[in-house]
Structure 1
């Protein structure tokens, strides 16, 4: 095809361009103005409007197990879910003292001194999310489990109960005690739906492994995905009292870097995490865009030197093991020099953040500071050991210890391995074993004993586990250091023989004082000095530090506070409100259109 036949549309424009270039007057080509120049301002795509009915909360841990009454399931998330999903007759007030929750009960009072009897009147409209009423059977179920199940937290008060009676179709509950119990307001928190759990396979533990069967609070549990790290809570449509402001709260797990990034971008509006020093520095770099608050948990990380162990039955050996401990290094390893490092626990019955806490650890005792190898040697020799080829031997047997910690649960596993290295430095070899909660706190730390008060050696010498604190210190004392007998109940056959405290500690000389503090016949302030001194002298427990979280909140969520002492920030989450801010408002004007320039 010849060039004369070229009909391409670009040809006339090229000829016109050549003609224009040949002309000296620019006006001859005014029908083709010069191309417009646009500034380099990037185009901005308006972000998706924020959902003001939803708050995303970043968390750094998410494990299975949500029973708030078991030692195995103690976590910030379990406390959170309990506050939002489970009814409690009393909740901590602003000063930590229990206050009647009138969304559940209209009254709770002592109605008889002999026998000591408390009557609860429940609201008639209080019900579980499946429509079943919150009633006396829920009280009875919790009582039965707390007095018989292994590995429960602070059960001494429940073991004083002799009966739970139902009146008025279950809406009046009369609880009778064998002895007076001044701490009765600490009972019947986080009630569980008995009608769903009592006949469920593994109901006490299994039914709450990865879910809640029903809700009796302002929110319900829509879904739990442990693998993805996400928990979704939605407003409980059956809730009978003031409904929650938010439609949904999403709990989303990430590592510390991811949480800081999500807070910076606004993808997370709130975060609750246990930061180390590095994470705290990153949080502080967020500046005034967030608020930071330390929230102590109701748990202290401790070392239990168990006298039920054949190897640690001698108090001199326990003291020698304590003398080999570098307590400061254990605290550093467990806290990462984060906020928990400021909550060193130097007492057994009060947590550092509690009102009334006073350090009771005597200066210079084994386990109070740096390792003292000379004291280790002296005490081991007094206990009949000799050092041979770098090992401690007695009756032809080398001293080898087993340290137990809950599996995949920090900081307990980290502390256990650090302790193992420290003991090796004192020629005391140890092996760390980790186990899931029900096996650890049931079979290993609370074995059934053939005779009351005579524990079976389960093979665990040292346990790195939590101690749970509450609003009644006398109950904490009796639950963690009191003796266990079948006579703790009017129906002695219903309690398995010997469900000891995790330390398997029982001192018959101290028991009358502990009982007096629990029942009010002796003021706790009078009982505590001698008990604390005895516990330190016998080297039963080495408390380390109180766990704490850092609550981070962006300004678009209002009403977020640390909450009452030991209760956590989610107690008030039904009043949280998300508001539009200048940065996230969907009503903000769109970015300006770039202006053309010549």
Structure 2
């Protein structure tokens, strides 16, 4: 009876405990689980991030698009987001040389000489933020788009690829090339999520136009508000490697004075901003231990005199126009006394801040110095006459040229306006157009050639002159091929381009006599230095590509932030953002 009585006495207590437990279980069941995937729509905890766990970076712009492989999208913020959000096979070491990114790869090496084959082993735990693996389909997608899409940066290495196969669930990727390619380590940077983009509306032209559908790097996007001028990045909760030291990075747009003020007050902890002479001086005047660095971009502002149409296929006309240019004034208009002013570009292949750079422009080529007398002689030889105010052809019509610069993109609009004024003063009838960047590089510079007798004002293949960016961040032999090479590069489907195929480069240039040397440098049959010594003087005299200056930003860092530096050459500071620390609130 005691046992029974004891049970009876404890039963009410047990029942109460059971009821309390049931209530707690019901409450837990009604609470929704936390989100599993970090995505553009992810909502963070309601608890605000502590100042010490957040870094705010002042930038000049946060506007899209954000595809690092498109010429039209090249910008400081695009480079930054690619480094923070996208996986790469190789990244730049401190000296600028390619270094295997072991947060993504196990190994990558040449596994066959004939045919030339490179095998990549992707880490088994490397995945996109929606849990899809980073795998072979991402390699295939980037290859296909870079091979076939217009207006991309450094496509020539991808055009040498004939096949990509895979094993090990897509984690072992075998890439076969038509010819040896010494620059293979520069391929497959900033891989994109193929499973989300390959069938997306708008295709490649719309890829990353406004945001990112998934992430494969240490950060994810919490919010992207281009109109407001702010991008908030947070740690990617699905990142498989060492997490970033800060919880959030905020990229905040402001003008020069606004950024200087925010740095001075501590609202911004650092800034990466394009400046003119005034803004650079204001940053230097902040004092209080703020460190300043110049950060060159992998981009050179250039003028392209495209050999298309009846006018510019005549080398004498291109050389005459090049002789009319005041190159110093064009550089001043674009650099405006900022950090780019010290990076005058006098090479057709390497950027001024690149390892191995040296000036190669001969002193007697048309672009080297303004020479009105030479311009008059060349135009007269080409059949034009000076009537005292303008240049006329043999039918009495004015010499008309069209200049294009991407709309709203500094510094190209400023350079284009100065160029228009120079040519107009010299008696050339000039029209300046500012198309949307994607329309310019995706369509207008890639129109198939039209026979001269069929050309009209509306069918002429794009503008005569283009002021815009040229990529200079990769393998120099690939830069040479992408800038001046012909389209007939070995491919898996056909070895020769169709007669009406778009031009192989934005300048619409192809010299069949130089192409064998360019191909020999690309495939390693001849040393690049030997090829450049042979072809670069001739390319300068063609007056097709006139480089001006390398773009650069100012990096300003407050003393309450550590581990921030300019980064590897042409990569910038965001390459090391996972180690950034804020030492005080």
Structure 2-normalised TM-score?
A: 0.88
Residue of structure 1 in register with 2:494 after alignment:
492
Q: Does 1:477 align with 2:466?
A: no
2:382 corresponds in structure 1 to 383
Question: Rg bigger for which structure?
Answer: 1
Q: CA deviation at 1:450?
A: 7.8
1:523 to 2:522 alignment:
no
**Moved segments of 4+, more than 6 Å:** 493-496
For residues 291 and 111 of structure 1, the distance between their equivalents in structure 2, rounded to whole angstroms, comes to 46
- Find the counterpart in structure 1 of residue 25 from structure 2: none
CA contact (8 A) 1:405 1:416 kept: yes
> Structure 1, unaligned stretches of length 5 or more?
1-47, 585-598
Please give the alpha-carbon distance, in whole angstroms, between the structure 2 residues aligned to 1:364 and 1:161.
Answer: 40
Paired residue secondary structure (1:447) = coil
Per the alignment, residue 116 of structure 1 pairs with: 116
Aligned to 1:219: 219
Aligned counterparts of 2:449 and 2:313: Cα–Cα separation in 1: 16
Q: Provide the C-alpha distance between the structure 1 equivalents of 2:49 and 2:350, rounded to a whole number of angstroms.
A: 47
Q: Alpha-carbon deviation of 1:467?
A: 0.7
Q: CA deviation at 1:372?
A: 1.9
Structure 1 position 495, deviation (Å): 7.5
The aligned residue for residue 18 of structure 1 is: none
Q: Give, in whole Å, the separation in 2 of the partners of 1:133 and 1:309.
A: 48
1:542 aligned onto 2:541: no
Deviation at 1:373, TM superposition (A): 1.5
1:291-320 deviations in Å (ceiling 9; x for gaps): 000000000000000002332111110011
When structure 1 is superposed on structure 2, of 513-522 and 530-539 the one drifting more is 530-539
The alpha-carbon deviation at position 488 of structure 1 amounts to 3.1
| Distance in 2 separating the partners of 1:326 and 1:298 | 25
Within 5 Å, which residues of 2 pair with 1:254-293?
Answer: 254-293=254-293
Q: What residue is the counterpart of 1:75 in the other structure?
A: 75
Q: Structure 1 CA distance, aligned partners of 2:510 and 2:207?
A: 33
Residue 205 of structure 1 aligns to a residue whose secondary structure is helix
Q: Are 1:513 and 2:517 counterparts?
A: yes
* Structure 2, unpaired ranges of 5+: 1-47
2:115, 2:168 → 1: CA distance?
A: 21
The offset of 1:394, in angstroms, is 1.6
User: Are the equivalent residues in 2 in contact too, given 1:67–1:205 (CA < 8 A)?
Assistant: no
Match of 1:392 in 2: 391
SS in 1 for 2:52: coil
- Give 1:235 shift: 0.3
Distance in 2 separating the partners of 1:519 and 1:546:
27
Q: Distance in 2 between matches of 1:517 and 1:554?
A: 45
- In the TM superposition, residue 254 of structure 1 has moved relative to its aligned partner by 0.4
1:552 is matched with: 556
Question: Which secondary structure does the structure 2 equivalent of 1:406 belong to?
Answer: coil
Give the Å deviation of 1:49: 11
User: How has the CA–CA distance of structure 1 residues 406 and 49 changed in structure 2, closer, same or farther, with 3 Å as cutoff?
Assistant: closer
Q: Alignment partner for residue 458 of structure 1, among 443, 456, 461?
A: 461
Asked if residue 235 in structure 1 is aligned to residue 235 in structure 2, the reply is yes
Equivalent in 523, 530, 537 of residue 533 of structure 1? 537
- CA deviation map 1:336-385 (0-9, x unaligned): 1111100000010000001111101111422223x322111111001111
Q: Distance in 1 between matches of 2:513 and 2:430?
A: 32
Q: Secondary structure at the match of 1:435?
A: coil
Contact 1:148 1:495 in 2 (8 A): no
Deviations 1:375-405 (CA, angstroms, capped at 9, x unpaired): 1111100111111252211231321110001
Taking the aligned partners of 1:545 and 1:494, their CA distance within structure 2 comes to 35
* Separation (CA, whole Å) in 1 of partners of 2:221 and 2:442: 28
Q: Which residue of 2 aligns with 1:170?
A: 170
Point out the structure with the larger helix share: 2
Partner of 1:41: none
Q: 2:240 aligns to what SS in structure 1?
A: coil
Q: Is the Cα contact below 8 Å between 1:305 and 1:318 reproduced in 2?
A: yes
The alignment of Structure 1 onto Structure 2 pairs a total of residues equal to 530
SS in structure 2 at match of 1:563: coil
SS in 1 for 2:341: helix
Residues 260-279 of structure 1, C-alpha deviations (whole Å, 9 max, x = no match): 00000000001000111000
The reply on whether 1:567 has 2:571 as its aligned counterpart is yes
Displacement, 1:183?
0.3
* Cα pair distance change 1:358/1:127, threshold 3 Å: same
SS at match of 1:488: coil
Q: What are the within-5 Å matches in structure 2 for residues 152-163 of structure 1?
A: 152-163=152-163
The separation in 2 between residues aligned to 1:562 and 1:368, in whole angstroms, is 32
Listed one character per residue, the Cα deviations across residues 431-480 of structure 1 (whole Å, up to 9, x for unaligned) are 110111221012111124589xx998424100001110123100000011
Aligned-residue CA RMSD (Å): 1.8
Deviations 1:63-89 (A, max 9, x none): 220000000000000000000000000
Separation (CA, whole Å) in 1 of partners of 2:463 and 2:128 = 41
**518 and 407 in structure 1: CA distance in 2 versus 1, 3 angstrom threshold:** same
Is 1:133 the counterpart of 2:113? The answer is no
CA distance in 2, matches of 1:244, 1:49: 14
Determine whether 1:59 maps to 2:63.
Answer: no
How far has the Cα of 1:50 moved from its partner? 6.2
- List aligned pairs for 1:189-204, cutoff 5 A: 189-204=189-204
SS of the residue 2:334 aligns to: helix
Q: How many Å separate the matches in 2 of 1:365 and 1:100?
A: 41
Is 1:441 aligned with 2:445? no
8 Å Cα contact 2:564-2:580 kept in structure 1: yes
Question: Helix, strand or coil for the counterpart of 1:163?
Answer: strand
Aligned positions of 1:346-425 closer than 5 A: 346-369=346-369, 371-396=370-395, 397-425=397-425
TM-score by length of 1: 0.86
Contact 2:91 2:99 in 1 (8 A): yes
After superposition, the Cα gap between the structure-2 partners of 1:53 and 1:341, relative to the gap in structure 1 and judged at 3 Å, is same
DSSP 3-state at the match of 1:175: strand
Asked if the contact 2:299–2:473 (Cα under 8 Å) also holds between the matched residues in 1, the reply is no
Whole-angstrom distance in 2 between the partners of 1:309 and 1:288: 57
